[in-house]
Homo-oligomer: A and B are copies of this chain.
Amino acid sequence: MREVYVAGIGITTFTRLEYPLVEIASYASMMALKDAGVTEVDQLYVANMGAPRVNHQTALGSAVADSLSLLPAGAAAIENGPASGAAAIKAGFQAVASGMDDVVLVAGVERMREVNNLEATDFVATLTHPLTEYIYGVTLPSHAAMFARLYMEKYGVTERHLAMVGVKNQNAALNNVWAHLQQGITLEGILDSPEAMTNNPYVAEPLRFFDACPVSDGGAAIILVSKEKAQELGRPMIRLSGIGQATDTHAVFEREEPTDLLAVRNAARAAYDMSGLGPEDIDVAELHDAFTILEIAESEEVGFFPKGEGHIALEKGETALGGKIPINVGGGLKGRGHPVGATGVAQAWEIVTQLRGDGEKRQVEGARTGLSLNFGGFGNNVVCLTFVRED
């Protein structure tokens, strides 16, 4: 199997964007192509979840290929719920690893604010089980709230711990010009003051407004290349060293222990195995904090902390910049935003930025290895990637 490197990255601001969907993907892609110094690709994959419904558009692969004048490159779109981005990176990896392609563009894009928040919530909910969850009105906030409640009862996590994740990540976004939320928050403001119940009402108890990521538009892109091509292009040699993907029961109620995220555990283990790394080797991580409780649970399932102790590590500052394993230093989904199809690619974008040493105020000093975890469904489809800087 050929080794695969990241030669270029690009991103748009995550916010409400008034550009057509294809332009958003193309903007991020152009940045990535320019960053890599390539003008032709063999294949492109576009990660997207909702365009057929939300934007009345299909065949995104062709549309982006044409918009970027990349014809006659192969092109297709990949839909894998909120884990579409990393699934597309996996497909792109395999295209290069197989030897069939030398240069692959992976772009993730979503334009969710073309519909109102209610429809956006419904569209995301279509990833739940159609016959046992979706038709009964379950949404992702309700899934996350039930999960949080169980986690609190079992492991002693409190609403304060959840709020601490939110404060950490939303404030981290202030160090990332591409992030959606550019407003600092404090525990005082969202939890401890008389105004907190107004500023930060329950959305799905015990989750409050500031426990959820915003609804964002945005795009992100990376260029995957063979080793020879990477050396020729001369960018920092960052190898996509591990890919693990795992599915779990589509319906959450079928899981033996609903507080376990087996797909996260299995995906991370597979990525570690492939890369020859362990959790203790990771310098910087991007976890999928669509809801604050998820960062805590995922930080355990990927092996950074023992099960049930993620919130304790959080309290100690171990997951903050400067801590033992800085998580979501660019804001995470909570602060950067979560244009669903773009997120997995944006996570890779942040890790590569860190391994290049380009993180500026949010740089993890001396970071040489990184991990990103893209969480689809409510934990039914998870992709974990590891990256290593080699030069």
Is A343 among interface residues, defined by CB-CB distance under 8 A?
no
Q: Which of A5-13, A70-78, A205-213, A325-333 forms part of the interface with chain B?
A: A70-78
Q: Which 9 residue pairs across A and B have the least CB separation, nearest first?
A: A74-B245, A59-B127, A59-B81, A66-B250, A97-B98, A72-B246, A98-B98, A53-B53, A76-B87
Contact between chains at A61 and B130 (CB < 8 Å): no
Name the distance in Å between A242's Cβ and chain B's nearest Cβ.
Answer: 11
- Residues of B close to A58: CB separation below 8 A: 49-50, 79, 81, 123, 126-127
- Residues of B close to A99: CB separation below 8 A: 1, 97-98
A67, A98, A100: most-surrounded residue (chain B CB, <10 A): A98
Contact between chains at A380 and B95 (CB < 8 Å): no
Q: Quick one: CB contact mask for A175-212 with B, threshold 8 Å, 1 for yes?
A: 00000000000000000000000000000000000000
Task: Check A380/B66 contact, CB under 8 A, given A58-B126, A247-B72.
Answer: yes
Name the distance in Å between A74's Cβ and chain B's nearest Cβ.
Answer: 4
- Residues of B close to A131: CB separation below 8 A: 20
Name the distance in Å between A29's Cβ and chain B's nearest Cβ.
Answer: 14
A-side interface residues toward B, CB under 8 Å?
1-2, 20-22, 43, 48-63, 65-67, 70-81, 83-84, 87-88, 90-91, 93-95, 97-100, 123, 126-127, 129-131, 134, 243, 245-251, 262-263, 266, 376-377, 380-381, 383
Contact between chains at B126 and A247 (CB < 8 Å): no
- Residues of B close to A97: CB separation below 8 A: 94, 98-100
Nearest B residue to A99 by beta-carbon distance? B1
Nearest B residue to A126 by beta-carbon distance? B58
Contact between chains at B63 and A250 (CB < 8 Å): yes
New A-B contacts (13) at CB < 8 Å, excluding given A56-B126, A59-B80: A1-B99, A21-B130, A50-B58, A52-B126, A61-B87, A61-B381, A71-B246, A75-B80, A78-B79, A94-B98, A97-B99, A97-B100, A100-B243
Pick the contact of A52 from B53, B75, B80, B98 — CB < 8 Å? B53
Nearest B residue to A48 by beta-carbon distance? B79
- 11 A-B Cβ contacts within 8 A? A50-B52, A52-B126, A58-B79, A59-B127, A62-B250, A72-B266, A75-B80, A76-B87, A79-B79, A94-B98, A100-B243
Nearest B residue to A101 by beta-carbon distance? B94
Contact between chains at A20 and B62 (CB < 8 Å): no
Nearest B residue to A50 by beta-carbon distance? B52
Name the distance in Å between A12's Cβ and chain B's nearest Cβ.
Answer: 18
Contact between chains at A59 and B377 (CB < 8 Å): yes
Pick the contact of A376 from B21, B55, B62, B100 — CB < 8 Å? B62
Contact between chains at B1 and A98 (CB < 8 Å): yes
- Residues of B close to A61: CB separation below 8 A: 79-80, 87, 247, 381
- Residues of B close to A262: CB separation below 8 A: 72
- Residues of B close to A248: CB separation below 8 A: 71-72
- Residues of B close to A51: CB separation below 8 A: 52
A134 CA to B48 CA in the complex, in Å? 20
A276 CA to B51 CA in the complex, in Å? 38
